[in-house]
Amino acid sequence: MTKLQPRVLTMLILVTLVVALVACAGGGVPPAPTPPAAEEEVQPTAEPVPEGRTVAADGRLESPYPELTLSFGGGASGRVLAIAVHAGETVEVGQLLAELDDSELRRAVEEAELKLERALEDLDQAEAGREDDLAKAEKARADAERALTSARLGYSDTDLEQARTNLDRARQAETDAKDTYERIRVNWPPVPIEGYYDSWQRAIRERELAEMRLADAGDAHSADWVDVQAREADLAEAERALVVLRTGADPTHERAVEDARVELASAQDAVARAELVAPWPALVLSVEVAPQATVEATTPIVTLLNLQDGLRFSSANLSEQHIADVYPGEPAVVTLRTYPEMPLEGVVEAVVPQTEEATEGEARFTIHVRLAEGAGAELRLLPGLTGRVEIVTK
């Protein structure tokens, strides 16, 4: 093969470059037609991938309320006639759980009704006789007023003061008689002194008599004062009785009626409590007594778990990183191990910190997921079923 000269080789390269430039500018030889492309097959559109990330965690179904042990309560006590449920049974609101033998309770109701009837009869009789009682009370008050007036008139210091004056005079007369006797006895020439001595002794007896009269006057004065106080108390009592009669019947009768009504209401409540019923839809966790057992009002009978507001799927011990983007209201899907082929939709209801637990200084949280209305209606969902929840964060 003949070797090209360098000059010829250079020219060929320049021609090739010119042809290439003309083709790029649209000039020159048109490109060869390409064969028609085959029709593209239309591919199905895939579901859009949700924004954010998915948080997955294990957990279990739980009731949002704690378990509650029920008793008959009130004044209901006696022999258990029947236990109508067993552990593991689901009950509806108002369903019978247990029943007491209420024969004694109903007898207590009958006695309370009779007691109320008697109290009402006494009250009616008191009302009927109130007019007569009122007239008698007004007369009693008038009598008490007159007695008090008489007692006050009889209570006087005059007799006491007179007795004190008489005693003072008797004492002075005794002193004078003694002085006279002593003076005459020492006089000279001597004179008969028997008369002066007798006068002195009479004065002593008069003074002693005056002292006794003063003591009697003091006692009478004190007795008169006690009598005045007694008459005042009688008048006050008569006025109180009159006020009570004017305002209505004797309050003791009204109190008796009220007490009888309270006793009857308590007895009727005890009869009503003889049937223990479920206060809300619930799961029976345990039965605490057997039929024929004797129980008090506070004896535990059954323990229930409230299902009124449905169950929650709860996942505990989640780290701060797990719940960083999890907020109430975000959608969630719960898959139970018992029903792996039937995922349940729900929403995050709450993110609760576990303040009592921490691992190496890191806080822990519990997520509660409320199942959507109707989710799992065809399934037997029970507290304690375990599974996994997936939460799509925003």
Q: Are residues 119 and 233 in the same domain?
A: yes
Instruction: Tell me whether residue 16 is in a domain.
Output: no
Asked if pLDDT for residue 185 goes beyond 60, the answer is yes
Residue 280, Cα to own-chain centre: how many angstroms?
21
- Rounded CA-CA distance 3/388 in Å is 80
Please report where in the chains the tokens 């006068």 appear, as a residue. 199
| pLDDT higher than threshold 50 for residue 296 | yes
Amino acid making up residue 185: R
Q: Which residue has the higher pLDDT, 20 or 253?
A: 253
Which letter does DSSP use for residue 150 in this model? H
Res 152: pLDDT: 87
Q: Is residue 353 domain-shared with residue 291, that is, in the same domain?
A: no
Region 311-317: what's the mean pLDDT?
90
State how many domains the chain has: 3
Residue 15, Cβ neighbours under 10 Å: how many? 9
Would the pLDDT of 251 be above 80? Answer: no
Tell whether 298 and 320 lie within a shared domain: no
Residue length of the chain: 394
Q: Residue 197 falls within a domain, yes or no?
A: yes
Confidence of residue 32 (pLDDT cuts 50, 70, 90): very low
For the sheet containing 275-277, what is the strand order? Answer: 275-277, 96-100, 78-83, 294-295
State the residue range of the domain holding 286: 70-101+274-305
Please indicate, yes or no, whether residues 118 and 224 belong to a single structural domain of this protein: yes
CATH code for the domain of 286: 2.40.50.100
Asked whether residue 61 falls in the same domain as residue 176, the answer is no
Residues 142-157 have pLDDT tens digits of: 999 999 899 888 888 8
Q: Residue 348 in contact with residue 333, Cβ under 8 Å?
A: no
Statement to judge: residues 86 and 123 lie in one domain: no
Residue 19 has pLDDT above 60, yes or no: no
Do 145 and 93 belong to one domain? Answer: no
Q: Is residue 17 part of a domain?
A: no
Do 181 and 216 lie in one domain? The reply is yes
Question: Is residue 356, in this structure, part of any structural domain at all?
Answer: yes
> Same structural domain for residues 125 and 237?
yes
d(CA 83, CA 110): 27
Quick check: is 4 in a domain? no
Average pLDDT over residues 323-334: 89
For residues 252 and 123, state if they share a domain.
yes
Q: What's the CA gap between 295 and 73, in Å, rounded?
A: 10
Say whether both 278 and 192 belong to one domain: no
Instruction: Count Cβ atoms within 10 A of the Cβ of residue 73 and give its class: 0-12 exposed, 13-18 middle, 19 or more buried.
Output: middle
CATH number for the domain including 136? Answer: 1.10.287
Nearest one of 94, 139, 113 to 241, comparing CA atoms: 139
Q: What is the CATH classification number for the domain harbouring 365? A: 2.40.30.170
Task: Write the pLDDT tens digit of every residue in 199-229.
Answer: 999 999 999 999 999 999 999 989 999 999 9
* pLDDT of res. 156: 84
3-state class of 15 per DSSP? helix
* Within-domain flag for 315: yes
Per the model's pLDDT, the better-predicted residue between 187 and 34 turns out to be: 187
pLDDT of 7 higher than 80: no
Q: Is residue 158 part of a domain?
A: yes
